[in-house]
Each structure stands twice: as structure tokens, then as C-alpha cells.
Structure 1
Amino acid sequence: MAVPLPRPRRFDVYAATAGLLGGLLLWAIGLGVRPSDGPGVLFPGRWPLLVPLAVTAGCELLRRSAPRTGLLTGTAALAADTLTQGSLVTVIMYTDLMYAAVLYGPPSSARRIPWITGLLTVAGTILPYALWRVPEALLIGVAVGIVSFGPASTGLIVRNHREAADAARLRAEQTALLAETDRVQAVTAERSRMARELHDVIAGHLSAIAIHSTAALSLDDAATTRRALGVIRENSVEGLAEMRRLIGILRERGGDTEPAAAPTLEGLGALVDGARANGLDVSLEAAPGGPVPAPVGMAAYRIVQESLTNALKHASRGPVRVRLSRREDVLCVRVTSAYGDHDAPHVPGSGAGLVGMRERAALLRGTFAAGPEPTADGRIWAVRATLPLTEGDFA
């Protein structure tokens, strides 16, 4: 079954029409390449040259849709044209077919055609001169080069420039895509960081407010209510201050607006005091063994803060132990609380706290684990994190 040829492009139709009309015009005025009865003309007269002209014009319709077919057919038409009076328009259209075959054809054709035409040009220059020993014989090679090698090499140059431009455009698009991917990842990482900060900072204060407001509403005792309202006010003020600090981080630096300093291990004492004020029986044992890098200190502080918040929301009555120790180049954080069987937490949680603590440890290439542990006094809930202290581990 024959495969139909692709539909020609509009420009190719215009080129074919212009070539055919130009050839007919030259034919009408009797202008040919050589005399109609000159030497080498096997088909004398004016009419035979119209056949190669028409075939070559038809090949122009295939210059982009089927360039190799057009070139092969055009080569046969040019060979036939040399046996007639010849038409200059046929030769010109053939040079365009050669150019299009290299420019629009497959890569194999683009590589081979310039080599083939170059060899033909060299052969057309050397062989006639070797046979006839006259300078005029060199003109045959010049003609072959003008008709074949010139258009083929031009097509190859244009094709290489187009491929280089396409490759540069592709690289630019890939660079833009990578830049957009980096931007999205940076925004996502920043959102995750701010989500952890918001959760760690606000959750503890809101949990204390919820628990003490419940106590104030459920107990008909003025002293208890007053103490609960005091705790609520204290947590509200601290939560508002933390929110202002986070807003300062989000704003651009400049003017009188400067974000407050990030929390460090020096603030653990105040953090534990606040947890005691919220009703937890907390003890702190901190022996970091010297200064620690700022990212590690902040991560340890936030892990302890979230652990105390979870103990306030979920733990049974019992002691809460916070212990920081240094082992070689690792800061170890351990927070334990009573783990009893109760139906529901004091304040509902979303599970984002454990996710945030695990992310903080992972960002520093540390480890994190949380879960119940059996002890001689019963089960406890233990949060364990190891944070590398060397710069190379988290840079």
C-alpha cells in the first residue's frame, strides 16, 4: 500500500510556482543555457527542456516534506536537462533542492551530502583537466561546485546554526525550569520551617491556656480561678511576644524592624520555669559541655519545648525529666514523662509536633525517636534526639 506524501508547505508551493513561471518566461523568449542544436544536445529544439523544468518545479513542492525524494528526483531531472538546450531556472531550482535536502533532511543526509558533493567537485575539476589538458576544463569543476557543493555546504552551515540555537534555547528553558524548581523548593522549605516555628512556639502557650481555662470554668473556686486566669494571661503575653518575633523574621530587615534573636540553650531554664507554672512537675539536667553551634542549640531548644507541650497535653500525672548531655561530637536530648492509659488527651493534637521534631533532627543529620518505654516504675513516654555538633555534619 502506497504511503501518501506529506502536504507541501505554503512557501514551497510559492517557490515551485515561481520557478515554473520563471522557466516558462525564459523559454518563451528563447533563452537557454546552450544552443538548441549545439554539441551534446541529444534532444534538440525548445520543447524538450520543459519536461525537466516541470519535474524540478514539482520537486520544489517536496523540499521540506520529503527533501531526499525531491533531491533524487531533481538530480534525475537535472541530468535530463543537460541533454536538452537547458534552462537556467532548472539549475537554480536544483541548487535549492540541494540546500533543502541538507537543511531539512535527516541528520545522515546532512552529514553525507556535503562530502559527496565535495568529492564530485574535486573529481569534476581534476578528471577533465587530466583528460583534456586545457584550463577551460577546470570550469566543469567550478560549475559542479556551484550547483552542488555550494548549496550543500550552505545548508549544513545554516542547519548547524539552527541546531546550536535550539540547543541554547533548550538549555535556557532547562535553566529556567531548574531555577523555578529551586525557587519552589526554597519556598516549600521556608514554609516548613515557619510551620515548625509556629507550632513549637504557639502550641505550648495555647495548650496551657486551654487547660487552665477548662479548670477555671469547671471549678467553682475563686482562688483556683484566679490562679488559672494568671496562667492564662502569662501564656497569652508570652505567645503574643513570640508571634511578634516570628512576624519580625518574616518582614524585611531594615529601619527599626529587626527580628528578635533565636532561642538558645541558655533559655531552657526559663522554658522549664514556664512549664512548671503551667502545672508540670519538670526537672532540668543540662550539661552540654561548652558552647554549641546556633542551629544545634535552636533545634535542641525547640525539641524540648515541643516535648513539654506534648507532656502538658497528653501525659499522665507524674514527673517530667529533661536531660541534655554531650557524647563526643553529638548533643543528646532526652525528655521523659509519665505514660498512662487515658481515653483522650487533655487538649487534642494534630501530630505535627512529632513531625516537626523529626524534621529538625533530620536537617542537622541527626536522629530522632519518640515512643513508650518500660521502666521499673511503669511505662514512660521518651523523646530522644541526637544532634551532631560538627559544622560539616549540618552545613
Structure 2
Amino acid sequence: MTLPRPHRDDLLIAAGGLAIGLLMWSFGLHTQTDRLITARWATLIPLVVMASMEALRRTMPQTALAVGTVALVADQFTYGSLVTALMFTDLVYSAVVYGKPAAARRIPYTTGLITIGVTIGFLVWWQNAIALVVGLITGMVSFLPAVTGAVVRNHRQAADAARLRAEQTALLAEMDRSQAVVAERARMARELHDMVANHLSAIAIHSTAALSLDDPGTTRQALTVIRENSVEGLAEMRRLIGLLRDSSGDAEPAAAPTLDGLDSLVTQAATNGESSGLTFTLDDSRKPDAGALPAPVELAAYRIVQESLTNALKHAGPGEVRVELGVRRPDGALTVGVISPLGGQPGPRAPGSGAGLVGMRERVALLDGEFESGPVTADDGRKEWRVRAVLPVGTSDREPPAWYA
């Protein structure tokens, strides 16, 4: 077993204590005049042992204290050295500060009991006030350093705990910042996709048609649709830029779209899908006096319909695309459904990335709603693609999150 290497400061303390002890011994400075061992050199043995233990005060504190205690007791049978006693106090202090937690708790109580026991014992033996002086010296050599070490250790532990809490707080703050950045990026990605994808898809489809069909009438109609979607897409982009500006910018954010705008959204989709044989209908079965919905719910429903219509323009076969709005009983949740024909689309198509379905699912999840999408079979046996979302409205009295837009 390899012994731990002594700390450099401990070696300096041990060397300094031994040098001072030897200097005092050379001048004949002792703590006692009449003892059992009268040889002057005998005083050096406890001094050397105590100095050696000082070198281990940090690496082996409990062993150093045990050996130092024996050396201090042996020093009482010689003429004695003040430096030996002082180094012992440092060993008691070090055992509490650097020792194991159990030893650090036990040593102050043990030294206190020893001080009381020595005082009472000498009072009974000598029956004079000198016993109190001996007890005081014993307390100064053992109990006082132990209490000082306990105070220092408690302060160090408190400082370490405070530093650990500060590090944990900083880590949590960094995690919150990272999550906020991720949430903001996801919000921006959803908004950008939902705002622009519909218009760009229509532009891609009609520009392909204009390039592939040598018909002036068809080309003019396609260019008209392209221009309309370009203008509307530009307006949507300006709105997105307004959302991203702070209050000190030169543009104020426009109001978020609501379900009142679904009529124009469906009309625009009908114009864009006319060349592909698509028709679009809106069936709103809600009561006219149902009242306003929470802003996050209206925005999520609008975006779900908008993205579903975009997907229908990209992938649906000829036929009717139905947009259905309703209220689920008994909780009053808003239901949104978009059903489109499933099949090959004639003519040009716009590529898809799959981000639309992910964005819709994220929007519904943020409102603790339900979302499903996939192929279904109609009553007449036709294959259809259905998107269905259920958006709870029970949080209408609560402000939407700052990052939800």
C-alpha cells in the first residue's frame, strides 16, 4: 500500500515547528522543571514525533492525531516543549477540518469530555484551584482547536453547498435558455411553413403547367394565379417579419388569422386547384352565437386547415375537398376535419417534405388536443385522406404563451 504524499505546506509547517523547537531546546526553554525523565535530550523525542505527524496533518489526519496524542503524553514526562504542545493543537484542528465526517463530529465532543474529566480529576486529587488551571490548559490544547476546526469545516461546507447551488442554478438557466431557443425556432419554422408553403405550392404547380402546356389561355390563367399567390405570399412574409420584430421596430405585428378567414382561404384553394380538378367546400356546423374561441385555438385551427389544403393541392386526386368545423359534446372542444380524395393527381405536382404533418401535430400537442391523419375508406368505397384535430377550449380564460404565435 502506497502512503499518500504529504502536502507541501504541511512539510513546511513540520520543518518550521521542528526548527523552532530545536532553537528553544538549545536555549534551555522548557515548560517544566522537575519531571520523571531528567535527560534533556528526551524532550527532543516527542518534538520530532510531533513534527513528523505535522507532515501528515492533511493526508492522514486521524493517524497523525492518534500518534500526536501519544507524543504529547510522553512529553509530560520530560522537561517538555511549548512547540510540541502547539503542534498538537494544530493536529486536533486538522483532524476536524480534513478528517472524515464522523471523526469531525466526534472529536469536539471527545475533547470536551476529556477537558471536563481532567479538571474534575485534578480537583479531586489536588483539592485546590491549580486543578482549574490544568483543566483550562487542557481545554486550550484540545477542546478549543477542535471547536475552531468544526466552525471552519462548517463554513467550508456551506461555501461548497452555495457554490454547488450556484452552478446548478446556472445550469438550469442555460437549459431554460436552450429550451426557449429551441421552442422559438420551432415556432418560427411552423409559421414560415404554414404561411408560405400554400402559396409556393400553388406557384410551383401553375408555373409548371404554364411551361408544359402550349396554350395562351391556360398560360395566362396560370400566370394570374401565380401573381395572386406571389402577392399574398409576400403579405404573409411581411406579417411574419412583423411578428419577429420587437416593439421598437418600424413595423407592428399584424393580427393573427382567425376562423373568420377560412372562407377566403377555401376560395383561394379552389382557384389554385381548379386546373387539377379539385373543388373545395366549407361546412361549419358550429352555432353562429357560440362566441369567440381562445386565440391559440383559432390560430391552430386556421393553420391546420391551411396546411391540409396545401397538401390537398399537392397530392389529392380530382374530386371534392371538404373542410368541416364542429363542436364536440359535452366538453365543447373544437373539431377540425379536412377530407380529400386519395389518388394520383393528373398534371404537375409540387414535392412535399412531410414537415406539414409534423407542424400540425406539434400545434395540437401544445394545446393538449388530439390529432390523427391517414387514409380512410368512404361509405361508397372510395379512398380518402382525412386530417382530424380536436382542440380543447377550456383554457379560454388563460393568456396564450408568449412564444405561441
Cα contact 1:369–1:385 (8 A) shared by 2? yes
Residue of structure 2 equivalent to 1:335: 338
Equivalent in 361, 382, 386 of residue 382 of structure 1: 386
1:365 alignment partner in structure 2:
368
Q: Secondary structure at the match of 1:285?
A: strand
2:51 corresponds, among 42, 52, 57, to 57
Structure 1 stretch displaced more, 294-303 or 234-243? 234-243
Matched, 1:304 2:305: yes
Q: Deviation of residue 392 (structure 1)?
A: 7.6
Structure 2: runs of 5 or more not aligned:
401-405
**Partner AA of 1:17 in structure 2:** A
Q: What is the alpha-carbon distance in structure 2 between the residues aligned to residue 393 and residue 262 of structure 1?
A: 18
- C-alpha distance in 2 between matches for 1:274 and 1:59: 91
1:162 and 2:156 aligned? yes
Alignment identity in percent? 61
Q: Deviation at 1:376?
A: 2.8
Deviation of residue 290 (structure 1)?
Answer: 2.5
Of 175, 183, 186, which aligns to 1:192? 186
Shift of 1:127: 2.0
CA–CA separation in structure 1 for the residues paired with 2:182 and 2:355:
16
SS in structure 2 at match of 1:278: helix
Q: Is the 8 A contact 1:121 1:141 kept in 2?
A: yes
Give the TM-score, by structure 1 length: 0.95
1:392 & 1:347 partners in 2: Cα distance? 38
After superposition, residues 113-128 of structure 1 pair within 5 angstroms as: 113-128=107-122
User: After the TM superposition, which residues 69-218 of structure 1 pair with which residues of structure 2 at under 5 Å, given as runs?
Assistant: 69-218=63-212
Q: Secondary structure at the match of 1:48?
A: helix
When normalised by structure 2's length, the TM-score is: 0.93
| Aligned-partner Cα distance in 2 for 1:132–1:30 | 29
Secondary structure of 2:42's aligned partner? coil
Amino acid at match of 1:360: R
CA distance in 2, matches of 1:45, 1:6: 35
Q: Distance in 2 between matches of 1:255 and 1:222?
A: 45
Task: Pick closer, same or farther for the CA change 1:392–1:62 going to 2, 3 Å.
Answer: farther
Does the CA-based 8 Å contact 1:364-1:393 persist in structure 2?
Answer: no
Q: Deviations over 1:7-27 (max 9, x none)?
A: 111110110010010001101
Which digits, 9 at most, give the CA deviation of each residue in 1:261-312, with x for residues without a partner? 1111111111111111212411111244331000000000000000000000
Q: Report if the CA contact (8 A) 1:314-1:345 is conserved.
A: no
Unpaired runs of at least 5, structure 1: none
* Alignment partner, residue 226 of structure 2: 232
- Decide whether the 8 Å contact of 2:282 with 2:324 is kept in 1: yes
Residue from 26, 32, 37 that aligns with 1:34: 32
Q: Secondary structure at the match of 1:391?
A: coil
Judged with a 3 Å threshold, the aligned counterparts in structure 2 of structure 1 residues 393 and 375 are, in CA distance, closer, same or farther, namely: farther
